[in-house]
Amino acid sequence: MKPLSHAAIIMLAAHVAALHSQTKPRARDLGVPFHGQPGPVNAITDVAGVEVGMTTLISGSGALKIGSGPVRTGVTAILPRGKGSNDPVFAGWFSLNGNGEMTGTTWLEEGGFLEGPVFITNTHSVGVVRDAAIKWSVDHGYLHQPWSLPVVAETWDGSLNDINGFHVKPEHVVAALDGARRGAVAEGNVGGGTGMRCYGFKCGTGTSSRKIDAQNGGYTVGVLVQANHGTRDLLRVAGVPVGAEMATETPAADELGSIIIVVATDAPLMPHQLKRLARRASLGLARTGSISSNGSGDIFIAFSTANAGAAGASNTASVSLLSNEKIGSVFEATVDATEEAIINALVAAETMVGVDGHRAEAIPHDRLREILRKYNRLVSR
C-alpha cells in the first residue's frame, strides 16, 4: 500500500471529524436507567480541553486473505489538553488483569505524568501507532522532552478483522490526531473499537461523563472505553441479568477478552490519587457483569487536566490537591460513568460481518427494553 498523499490525509481527517456528528441511540435513549448526572454531551470531552479523534477502517468481505482483508479496525486518540497544548497532565494507571498491553506506563508510573495523547487500536497495530505518534509529536513540536514514550493500548479484533494484515498505517494515526475535537463522540463500530465485541454481541467504542455537585467541587469526570470482553451469560444492564435472559436467543461469540478504560477529570488529583481513580473503573466494569477473566487485558488509565504547567517547573511547582475527604465523589462519578460508557458501546454497535463470514450481532434494542421492563427497570423517555 502506498502512503496517502497530504490531500488524502486531509480528507481522512475530515472524515474523522464527521464521525462526531453521527447520531445513534444511546443507552439512555432506550430507557436504561443510570445513576448520576452526565455532562452536556455525556462524553469524555465534557472534561474541558479533552479532544477525541478516530480513524475507522472498513473494507472488503468474504474469505480472509492476509494483507488484503476483510478490514474492520481503526485507531482512537484521546488528547488531554487538545492539539494546542503539549503540557503534560498528572496520571496513574492500573491493570485489573494483564493479558494485554498499554505502552508507556513504566515512565508514567515513575514520573507521574502523561506526556501526550492516549491511543487505542488493535493488538497487532500497537507498534505502528506508537511510532506514528512519535513522528507526529516531533513534527508538531509536541514533545515535552527530547524523547517520547507514547501510551498505546490495544484489544484484539482478529475474529472480524485481518489483524495480521497490518492495515493501520501512520497516516491513519495522523488523521485521528488532526481530526481530534471536542463535543460529541461517535460510539460503536468506530475508531479502535471498529472490530470489537463484548458480552457475545457487537461492541466497540463508548463514552460517558458525570458532573459532580457543587458541594463536592463541581468537577467533571469523563470515561471512554474500548470494550471487547465478557461472555453473554454474564451481561448485566442496570442490574438486570440481560445476558442470561438472552442466552439462547441469538448466537453468542466466544469470549475474546480485554477492555481499555480511559478516565479524565478536571479534579486536582496527584498521580497516586489517579491510580486510585483508575482502580475504581473496575467497579463500573463489574456492574456490567465482567469477572475480568484470565484471557482478558483489562487495563485502565486516569488523568487530571488540573494543575496546568506543573510539569514545566524548573525548580518547584505549586499544585492543588483534592483532599481524601472529598475524593469519594470523584470515585463515585468514575464508577457511574464507566458503567454507562460500556453499555453505550454495546447499544451503539451495529451488526458486523467480518473475515470468513464471521458475524457479530448487535444487541436487539427492543428485546433489551422488554427485559428491562420485565424487571421494572425501564425508564420512560
8 A C-beta contact, residue 73 and residue 57: yes
- Please indicate whether residue 95 is annotated as part of the active site: no
Instruction: Round to whole Å and give the CA distance between 288 and 344.
Output: 11
| Residue 340, helix vs strand vs coil | helix
Please identify which of the residues 148, 298, 304, 329 carries the catalytic annotation: 298
The set of cell numbers assigned to 120 is: 487505542
Show Cβ contacts of residue 136 under 8 Å, excluding neighbours closer than 6 positions.
142, 173, 174, 177
Neighbouring-strand partners of residue 155: 122
Query: What is the CA 122 to chain-centroid distance, rounded?
Result: 12
| Closest by CA position to 340, among listed 29, 67, 93, 105 | 29
Instruction: Round to whole Å and give the CA distance between 203 and 352.
Output: 10
Please identify which of the residues 137, 296, 304, 329 carries the catalytic annotation: 296
Please identify which of the residues 148, 159, 258, 304 carries the catalytic annotation: 258
8 A C-beta contact, residue 143 and residue 95: no
Neighbouring-strand partners of residue 260: 226, 299
Query: What is the CA 308 to chain-centroid distance, rounded?
Result: 24
8 A C-beta contact, residue 143 and residue 343: no
Show Cβ contacts of residue 379 under 8 Å, excluding neighbours closer than 6 positions.
28, 31, 32, 33
- Please indicate whether residue 323 is annotated as part of the active site: no
- The residue type found at 259 is I
The span from the first CA to the last CA of the chain, in angstroms, equals 48
Show Cβ contacts of residue 84 under 8 Å, excluding neighbours closer than 6 positions.
none
What DSSP state is assigned to residue 5?
A: P
- Please indicate whether residue 258 is annotated as part of the active site: yes
Query: What is the CA 261 to chain-centroid distance, rounded?
Result: 5
Catalytic annotation, residues: 258, 296, 298
